[in-house]
A and B are shown apart, each in its own frame.
Chain A
């Protein structure tokens, strides 16, 4: 009996020392954020884990510059990729949200986040001279209050190999029927018409949104938001768009096995010259500068946007484009003012926007005309022209307009409807169920 008591006591003592040891560690960390000598630690939580290429490099460049200019500020970056980022974001919303975080200005992400009240409100009037493209802030607002700033403007496009088109005398299609005819012609020539990343779900959802926008024109936003709020996707435009997607897949526009091949696989079909076209967002304009891609392909990449559809209300100048990713500031940050100061620094016209443009990571959500060097690739200029000439832009793709369960559902079911495993009606009913 004595022994037992002794062992229990020992165990308890061990547990206490363990916890005490760690507890003091934790306190040290907390104390760091604002210590006596005016040192400030800013925690940045980013969705860009690769800090040496692309957008992640741009972000890191600005952080390094900011630390150089403000010696009392130390910035700690934690980066995870998309899925892990979103999981950890949930954990952080319960406790200890970092000061500056990556966010998405789309209902599928932002609604739940704002409901939890973890983002600080920003003063919109501060940003009047930052050159944000009109309408680009809308996705980051709720009830007229601004909670974040957009980083990019994304445009959905068909990349194509111009040389291949010329050699074979193929024409860039002006209507959707021409596109389907072209698919057959290319296929007969033994080449894959279009490489599609069907494995991930979202590129196909963007494709569907693109078709829908061409069909519904300016009604697109109201049709989508109505459907999402009621869970009723029987609107004829949805039915038509989904049927058209299925018809497209049946016509053989996409490669064999598109429904399970991922981003890299699809892209490499295109960059290896096995596919004539590739459907993706404007961020891939950097392909024209990517030395890993054979020169013959790299220098010949051009793009066109979704052709018009017979009977649709959208014109060629109505393009599918949106402002997705961006940054926000934590509402409970102990160094909120410093965090907002850093946020504003990033969005100075010659930072995110300019560096991004120079590194070819796509278009920013700010006016970029000042940084045109004349050395832009033809592909980059095509995107700039497309945006400048656009009569209207679609806004958020369908998959990001609903709650996160809706996003999951549409992105996992869309391949099934395009390859005929489920019917169009079942597809629309299934995704509708997730909205209720």
Chain B
């Protein structure tokens, strides 16, 4: 048995490595490609090869992206809006998950289903009605015009993940806490929340990545520069028929960078959470 297992290991391990490396290359290549083309000139863009070797590295593309693309203002807006959205989604989804899973009240099941139904509503269907509502409330072109839909559309997913994670936390823990005289808010924020770390990381990444590149709602609900987000930066270099591709690539590379960084930071928690769950069974 031991022998067979070892032999199997010898074959499967390199195979596993091979598959994993292949997947990694496929995943990372677009990023490499993006950075590569962002350093080339517009005319070098369309060669036959997969990658170009720029004749002269065009740092100017990045300089242009910063100067003409309103990059810093849009970056600030993007970080602010996405940061707030992530915090709000996590806060509300933890509280809602606790209320629907752990507290006993008549409509708990119904409210949970109602909130989860939000997942089925396509964003495009809500675009124009929401515009009308915002415009009548005077919310268009304010930070709320983006914050409200971003939170609303990310909430069902967050709630879904939080409730399923919460189920794996033993109720006895809460009972013990209550016995020691713990109030409801302390139970949620001091007992439950620390145990939800990995699901909080997952929800944060999903919310952040979903909203980071969102453009449809942003372009409809905003009109002045004040709250525009990063995807608008790409637009500044879009001509009527053809565009300045090289600078657009530079803008996209700069736009992708924070998302990649956030992913790398939080990624550890996701894998950790998954691994821990697997061992504990």
The answer to whether A283 and B241 touch (CB under 8 A), given A23-B138, A25-B138, A29-B141, is yes
* CB proximity of B267 to chain A, nearest CB, Å: 32
Q: Report chain B residues within 8 Å CB of A84.
A: 215-216, 219-220, 235
Is residue B42 contacting chain A, with contact meaning CB distance below 8 A?
yes
Q: Report chain A residues within 8 Å CB of B45.
A: 264, 268
Interface of A is mostly: helix
Interface-forming stretch among A51-59, A123-131, A242-250, A419-427? Answer: A51-59
Is residue A61 contacting chain B, with contact meaning CB distance below 8 A?
no
Q: Is the beta-carbon distance between B240 and A283 smaller than 8 angstroms?
A: yes
Q: Report chain A residues within 8 Å CB of B53.
A: none
Which one of B47, B142, B216, B238 contacts A50 once the chains associate, using CB atoms below 8 Å?
A: B238
* CB proximity of A80 to chain B, nearest CB, Å: 6
B-facing residues in A7-59 (Cβ within 8 Å): 18-19, 22-23, 25-27, 29, 43, 47-56
* CB proximity of A174 to chain B, nearest CB, Å: 29
Q: Is the beta-carbon distance between A264 and B243 smaller than 8 angstroms?
A: yes
- Complex Cα distance, B216 from A293, in Å, reads 34
Q: Is the beta-carbon distance between A81 and B238 smaller than 8 angstroms?
A: yes
Taken residue by residue from 239 to 268, chain A's Cβ proximity to chain B (1 for < 8 Å, 0 otherwise) reads as 000000000000000000000000111011
Taken residue by residue from 216 to 244, chain A's Cβ proximity to chain B (1 for < 8 Å, 0 otherwise) reads as 00000000000000000000000000000
Report the tally of A-B residue pairs with Cβ distances under 8 A.
108
* CB proximity of A52 to chain B, nearest CB, Å: 6
**Which of A23, A51, A53 has the largest count of B CB atoms less than 10 A from its CB?**
A53
- Complex Cα distance, B144 from A26, in Å, reads 12
The answer to whether A87 and B127 touch (CB under 8 A), given A263-B242, A271-B43, A284-B241, is yes
- Complex Cα distance, B127 from A267, in Å, reads 34
Is residue A294 contacting chain B, with contact meaning CB distance below 8 A?
yes
* CB proximity of B44 to chain A, nearest CB, Å: 10
Q: Report chain B residues within 8 Å CB of A90.
A: 128
Is residue A94 contacting chain B, with contact meaning CB distance below 8 A?
yes
How many of chain A's residues touch chain B, expressed as a range? Answer: 35 or more
Q: Is the beta-carbon distance between B43 and A265 smaller than 8 angstroms?
A: no
Q: Is the beta-carbon distance between A91 and B220 smaller than 8 angstroms?
A: yes
**Which of A23, A25, A91, A293 has the largest count of B CB atoms less than 10 A from its CB?**
A91
Which one of A26, A76, A283, A293 contacts B138 once the chains associate, using CB atoms below 8 Å?
A: A26
A-facing residues in B97-147 (Cβ within 8 Å): 127-128, 131-132, 135-142, 144
Is residue A292 contacting chain B, with contact meaning CB distance below 8 A?
yes
Q: Is the beta-carbon distance between B128 and A91 smaller than 8 angstroms?
A: yes
- Complex Cα distance, B137 from A26, in Å, reads 8
11 contacts between A and B (CB under 8 A): A47-B240, A48-B239, A49-B239, A50-B240, A52-B68, A53-B239, A54-B239, A78-B223, A78-B224, A263-B242, A264-B243
What is the interface of chain B, defined by CB distance below 8 A to chain A? 41-43, 45-47, 68, 127-128, 131-132, 135-142, 144, 215-216, 219-220, 223-224, 235-245
What is the interface of chain A, defined by CB distance below 8 A to chain B? 18-19, 22-23, 25-27, 29, 43, 47-56, 76, 78-81, 84, 87-88, 90-91, 94-96, 98, 263-265, 267-269, 271-272, 281, 283-284, 292-294, 325
